[in-house]
Structure 1
Amino acid sequence: MSTIEFSTQFDRLRRTLFSFALNLTKDEESARDLVQETAFKAFKYRDRYEPQTNLRAWLMTIMRNSFINEYRKRKRRQTLNDNTSNDYLLDSGHQSVSNQGESTVMQEEIIKVVNTLEDWVRIPFLMHFQGFKYEEIADELEVPLGTIKSRIFFARQKLQAQMRRLYTAKQIEDILS
């Protein structure tokens, strides 16, 4: 199929593609961007299109995959889309603890619980908590990587179980935030 034929068929499907893009994005500007991205990829890879197949389905597949890939990128970056005017400051999400003394007591309790763990679980957990990567811990302790991962997992389980016995779910949530 020639470039002119491909372009003509693409133009016939442009409204359908825009409708589909609008359905995916729920925003006209984003829908236009998605149609443009689809057009770019379609023309770039038009040699992969089989002329006897359904062009509309092929283009919509490109569009859907482009949308999904962009969504995943945004999700990984945790980008905040702020559509409000810049007259207000956004809440950073940081929750302050209303009672600093209570927080200090809880932290001391957590430290006590961590110190009750056996060395084979506590040491890898503390190293991971201090920022060491699993591989670094495994190398330092001369233990297989899978063993380190399971020991840290066991430490977390034991800590969660002990903390549940000591505090309510709301109190634990307040500590962790």
Structure 2
Amino acid sequence: MGLQDYMMNFALTLTADREDAMDLTQETSLRVLDNLEKYTDNRNFKGWVLTVMRNIFINNYRRVLRSQTVVEQDIDLYHLEATTESSIETPESACRLQEITKAIGELNDELRVPFTMYVSGYRYNEIADALGIPLGTVKSRIFFARQSLKTKIEEN
């Protein structure tokens, strides 16, 4: 409890908003109390607590950025990362991208949804939480989607 002032000041420097700083301080306090057994003696307790706070802030910031990313449904997501060696797109590369997009579209929903989320930048555990399925199931569905895409593309 003696660190609450330090925590609040540090949270204010991170968030620049009093309400967010209070939320961050409270969340950090709860996390520290839940994980007190992970603290080793003869260490800087204040430094440990502030490191926990900083990590919570960074994770929350990344989560907010991901949730605020707007993706237009009429654009082809799989072409965003595709670049060619030169600025001129070759007919072969355009044809290849169409094949990949078509192959992804042909996947069943069980495979396509987790694969698309993974390609969009979600982590395995976030996909599992969003879809309400076990982590291992997410990993295997993404694996099977990759295998299916590889087979379909090699056939063409």
- TM-score, with length taken from structure 2: 0.54
Task: Tell me the amino acid that sits aligned with residue 99 of structure 2.
Answer: M
CA distance in 2, matches of 1:126, 1:44: 50
Q: 1:25 to 1:127 in 2, by over 3 A?
A: same
Task: Tell me the amino acid that sits aligned with residue 124 of structure 1.
Answer: R
Look up the SS of the partner of 1:63 in the other structure.
Answer: helix
Q: Which residue of 1 is the match for residue 153 of structure 2?
A: 141
Give 2:40's match in structure 1, choosing from 50, 54, 64: 50
CA distance in 2, matches of 1:36, 1:126: 50
CA distance in 2, matches of 1:59, 1:141: 51
Q: Which residue of 1 is the match for residue 26 of structure 2?
A: 36
Look up the SS of the partner of 1:132 in the other structure.
Answer: helix
Task: Tell me the amino acid that sits aligned with residue 140 of structure 1.
Answer: K
Q: 1:132 to 1:40 in 2, by over 3 A?
A: same
Offset of residue 124 of structure 1:
2.2
Task: Tell me the amino acid that sits aligned with residue 127 of structure 1.
Answer: E
Task: Tell me the amino acid that sits aligned with residue 117 of structure 1.
Answer: P
Give 2:99's match in structure 1, choosing from 127, 139, 143: 127
Q: Which residue of 2 is the match for residue 21 of structure 1?
A: 11
- Indicate the structure (1 or 2) with the bigger Cα radius of gyration: 1
Q: Which residue of 1 is the match for residue 91 of structure 2?
A: 117
Runs of 4+ in 1 over 6 A off after TM superposition: none
User: Is residue 72 of structure 1 aligned with residue 84 of structure 2?
Assistant: no
Q: Deviations over 1:75-108 (max 9, x none)?
A: 111269xxxxxxxxxxxx9xxxxxxxxxxxxxxx
Sequence identity percentage: 32
Structure 2 unaligned regions, length at least 5: 73-87, 106-144
- TM-score, with length taken from structure 1: 0.48
For the 8 Å contact 1:34–1:63, the answer to whether it is kept is yes
Q: Deviations over 1:89-134 (max 9, x none)?
A: xxxx9xxxxxxxxxxxxxxxxxxx97x613xx34321123447278
Structure 1 unaligned regions, length at least 5: 1-10, 81-92, 94-112, 144-177
RMSD of aligned Cα (Å):
2.8
Task: Tell me the amino acid that sits aligned with residue 39 of structure 2.
Answer: Y
For the 8 Å contact 1:127–1:137, the answer to whether it is kept is no
Number of equivalenced pairs: 99
